[in-house]
Structure 1
Amino acid sequence: MSSRWIPLESNPDVLNAWAKKAGMASNVEFGDVYGFDDSLLAMVPQPVKAVVLLFPISKESEARRTKEDSEIATNGQPELDPTILWIKQTISNACGTMGLIHAIANSDVTVAPMSPLAKFIEQCIDKTPEERSKLLETTPLFADIHAQAASSGQSAVPTNLDTDLHFTCFVAAPSPKGEKRLIELDGRRNGPIDRGACTDLLKDAAQTIQNLYVGESQSMQFNVMSLGPRHTD
Structure 2
Amino acid sequence: MEPESALGTNKPIYRKHFIPLESNPEPFTELIHELGILPSLCFQDVLSLDDPELLAFVPRPAFALVLIFPTSDAYQNQKAMEEAMRNEYHGSGDGEEVVWFKQTINNACGLYGILHAVCNGAARSYIASDSTLSKLLEEGLSLQPDERAKILEDNEEVESAYATVARQGDSEVPENPEDEVDFHYVCFVRSSKSGHIYELDGDRKGPIDRGKFEGAEDMLSEGCLNLVRDFITKEKGNLNFSLMALVLNE
Give the TM-score normalised by structure 2: 0.83
8 Å Cα contact 1:50-1:172 kept in structure 2: yes
Structure 1 residues not aligned, in runs of 5+: 75-80
Question: 1-side partners of 2:241 and 2:67: how far apart?
Answer: 7
8 Å Cα contact 1:61-1:213 kept in structure 2: no
Residue type of the partner of 2:213? C
Aligned to 1:202, the other structure's residue is in SS state: coil
8 Å Cα contact 2:232-2:238 kept in structure 1: no
Question: 2-side partners of 1:189 and 1:134: how far apart?
Answer: 16
The answer to whether residue 50 in structure 2 is matched with residue 37 in structure 1 is yes
Question: 2-side partners of 1:18 and 1:187: how far apart?
Answer: 18
Residue type of the partner of 1:164? D
Aligned to 2:80, the other structure's residue is in SS state: helix
Q: What residue is the counterpart of 1:105 in the other structure?
A: 119
Which among 20, 35, 40 is matched to residue 7 of structure 1?
20
Q: What residue is the counterpart of 1:181 in the other structure?
A: 196
Equivalenced residues, count: 222
Which among 145, 151, 155 is matched to residue 139 of structure 1?
155
Question: 2-side partners of 1:150 and 1:205: how far apart?
Answer: 29
Shift of 1:174: 4.9
Shift of 1:94: 1.1
The answer to whether residue 105 in structure 2 is matched with residue 86 in structure 1 is no
Question: 1-side partners of 2:237 and 2:70: how far apart?
Answer: 10
Aligned-residue Cα RMSD (Å) equals 1.8
Where do 4+ consecutive residues of structure 1 move more than 4 Å? none
8 Å Cα contact 2:122-2:192 kept in structure 1: no
Residue type of the partner of 1:162? E
The answer to whether residue 183 in structure 2 is matched with residue 165 in structure 1 is yes
Question: 2-side partners of 1:111 and 1:43: how far apart?
Answer: 25
Q: Tell me the alpha carbon deviations over residues 90-141 of structure 1, each in whole angstroms, 9 at most, x when there is no partner.
A: 1101111111111100122211111101110111110011111101111111
Question: 2-side partners of 1:83 and 1:196: how far apart?
Answer: 12
1:112–1:209: structure 2 CA closer, same or farther, 3 Å change rule?
A: same
Shift of 1:217: 4.3
1:135–1:230: structure 2 CA closer, same or farther, 3 Å change rule?
A: same
8 Å Cα contact 1:8-1:96 kept in structure 2: yes
Aligned to 1:85, the other structure's residue is in SS state: coil
8 Å Cα contact 1:170-1:184 kept in structure 2: yes
Give the TM-score normalised by structure 1: 0.89
Q: What residue is the counterpart of 1:116 in the other structure?
A: 132
Question: 2-side partners of 1:92 and 1:217: how far apart?
Answer: 27
The answer to whether residue 216 in structure 2 is matched with residue 224 in structure 1 is no
Question: 1-side partners of 2:24 and 2:86: how far apart?
Answer: 32
The answer to whether residue 212 in structure 2 is matched with residue 197 in structure 1 is yes
Question: 2-side partners of 1:141 and 1:214: how far apart?
Answer: 39
The answer to whether residue 224 in structure 2 is matched with residue 212 in structure 1 is no
Q: What residue is the counterpart of 2:29 in the other structure?
A: 16
8 Å Cα contact 1:172-1:198 kept in structure 2: no
Shift of 1:38: 4.5
Structure 2 residues not aligned, in runs of 5+: 1-13, 89-94
Q: Which moved more, 1:196-205 or 1:52-61?
A: 196-205
Shift of 1:181: 1.3
Q: Which moved more, 1:107-116 or 1:196-205?
A: 196-205
Aligned to 1:29, the other structure's residue is in SS state: strand
Question: 1-side partners of 2:109 and 2:19: how far apart?
Answer: 10
Question: 2-side partners of 1:114 and 1:230: how far apart?
Answer: 22
| Bigger relative contact order, structure 1 or 2 (CA pairs below 8 A, ≥6 apart) | 1
